[in-house]
Structure 1
Amino acid sequence: MLTLFSYPELFGVADNNPFGLKIYAFLKLCGLPFRHEHIIDTAQAPRGQLPYLLDGDEKIGDSDVIIAHLIRRYGLTIDDGLTVAQRDTHLLVRRVLDDLYWVMSYSRWKDDQFWPQFRDAFLATHKDMTTAALEAARDYNFKRYFYQGIGRYEPDAAYARGLADLGVLARLVPQDGFVFGAKPTSLDAALYGSIANIYVFEIDTPLRGFVLEHQNLVRHCKAIHAAIAA
């Protein structure tokens, strides 16, 4: 059976990282049976990053590579109806979500205004986690943010970048249905991974405030959440 290794759940979503939640939603939408293992240690992960998928003896990392692998190996038809232009849009939106990830992560780990709420929620949900371990993870993330670049931004400038990303998504997501029609595609799974990790978290960052003001984003998030709940 397929096994998904990803970060722990939080605030009722299956993974507190957008990329792991994206794969979780994709697997559910496609009806593929799988085991879900929540881990934090990335030592065994390809490139030292989560999520990764174990398919037999094959270990696959990177969420886009995982989805491409699953579509190819299991003949999945979730994206079959997409045009070339829609596939181009798909790629561009995924790149926007990559950018949004850094701002979302910054809001949790880097911004002193919201870090205590994230830390306390994590500790309350996962009793085996220690404050020292989270502080060590925070120090590690500070280094990641610095070298990626977002860590050199002041909060207002960082959030301006994330809000610009969300603005694009708010203009893309329709009031009804899914991005490319009546049925979800893998892009809807990717959007859910990111938006749920902002909307569902009870931490009122500027990013969450924007999502709450755009009911099309809220509706889309709830629709995917309901579709994968079974």
Structure 2
Amino acid sequence: MIKLFIFPAAFGLRNVSPFCLKVEMALKHLNLDFDLVELSDPRQSPKGKLPFIEIDGQRIADSEIIFEYLDQKTSGGLFGDLSEEEKARGTAFTRLAEDHLYWLMVASRWIDDGWWPNVKEGFFGSMPFPLKQLVCFVARRQVTQTYNLHGLGKHTFAEQKDFARRDLAAINAAVSVNPYLLGDKLTAFDFTVASLLAGILDNKPDAWITPIAREFQPLMEYTERVQQQVGVFCRV
């Protein structure tokens, strides 16, 4: 039995991290037996972040590395039927989603003063005072520093919204002409992109990035289509 370690539910989301959700989608798609284990402190992970899986006494962390492991374990169950060109396009969408759009979503939750109380309560609400205040301060400062080091934090709020809109428009263009990112067939790359989009669209209350995503009807339909097809949903 595989154990998948994920964050507890928050913000109206059953699976609050797109990285955790994409692995859950992959496991379900591959028809592998697994249990979900909620873990509030990602420092207990081998790499200090979630998700990670535990299988045959081995712990494997990082969603991309988990995907590669699962693909090997299932003799190409995730990527084996894809051409090199399809893998290249899928990887490009993955990088756009996880290395750029993801951080804009993070900023819309953690750095926006209006939304921050939801993070504070959702992630740290069970902590006693004054530990809660200290941990919240340190965690938010680390996220802000990382966002600034990424480079996105050096732009104005209006410019960050424009970045988000262009990222979302690029994905929308792909799924406006085909049901999935690479064409007519569902692939593991859809798990990556749709998981992130579901978190943006369904977190409660709306973050500033949410109404931008809702400008793109094909994008919303695509996100729902992938979740329906796999039978795994981000929302509660």
Asked if these proteins are the same fold (TM beyond 0.5), I'd say yes
Which one-letter code corresponds to 2:185 in the other structure?
K
The alpha carbon displacement at 1:127 in A equals 6.0
Structure 2 equivalent of residue 55 of structure 1: 55
The alpha carbon displacement at 1:229 in A equals 3.9
User: What are the Cα deviations for residues 183-208 of structure 1, in whole angstroms up to 9, with x where unaligned?
Assistant: 32101100121001100113333421
Alpha-carbon separation, structure 2, partners of 1:15 and 1:175 = 29
The alpha carbon displacement at 1:179 in A equals 2.2
Structure 2 equivalent of residue 74 of structure 1: 74
Structure 2: runs of 5 or more not aligned = none
- Matches for 1:54-203 after TM superposition, within 5 Å: 54-98=54-98, 99-120=100-121, 122=122, 128-129=126-127, 132=133, 133-174=135-176, 177-203=179-205
* Percent pairwise identity: 25
Structure 2 counterpart SS, 1:10: coil
The alpha carbon displacement at 1:169 in A equals 0.8
Aligned length: 227
User: What are the Cα deviations for residues 15-60 of structure 1, in whole angstroms up to 9, with x where unaligned?
Assistant: 2122111111111222211111121322232332221111222211
Structure 1 counterpart SS, 2:196: helix
Structure 2 equivalent of residue 46 of structure 1: 46
Which stretch has the larger CA shift, 47-56 or 109-118?
109-118
Alpha-carbon separation, structure 2, partners of 1:225 and 1:208 = 18
Alpha-carbon separation, structure 2, partners of 1:11 and 1:25 = 20
8 Å Cα contact 1:4/1:35 also seen in 2: yes
Which stretch has the larger CA shift, 63-72 or 25-34?
25-34
Structure 1 counterpart SS, 2:43: coil
Alpha-carbon separation, structure 1, partners of 2:204 and 2:44 = 31
The alpha carbon displacement at 1:72 in A equals 0.3
Structure 2 counterpart SS, 1:156: helix
Query: Relative to 1, partners in 2 of residues 1:34 and 1:165: Cα closer, same or farther, differing over 3 Å?
Result: same
The alpha carbon displacement at 1:153 in A equals 3.0
TM-score by length of 1: 0.86
Query: Relative to 1, partners in 2 of residues 1:135 and 1:224: Cα closer, same or farther, differing over 3 Å?
Result: farther
Alpha-carbon separation, structure 2, partners of 1:9 and 1:140 = 22
Structure 2 counterpart SS, 1:173: helix
8 Å Cα contact 2:18/2:199 also seen in 1: yes
8 Å Cα contact 1:14/1:21 also seen in 2: no
Structure 1: runs of 5 or more not aligned = none
Query: Relative to 1, partners in 2 of residues 1:76 and 1:10: Cα closer, same or farther, differing over 3 Å?
Result: farther
8 Å Cα contact 1:3/1:55 also seen in 2: yes
Aligned-residue RMSD, C-alpha = 2.4
TM-score by length of 2: 0.84
Query: Relative to 1, partners in 2 of residues 1:101 and 1:229: Cα closer, same or farther, differing over 3 Å?
Result: closer
The alpha carbon displacement at 1:97 in A equals 0.8
Which one-letter code corresponds to 2:126 in the other structure?
D
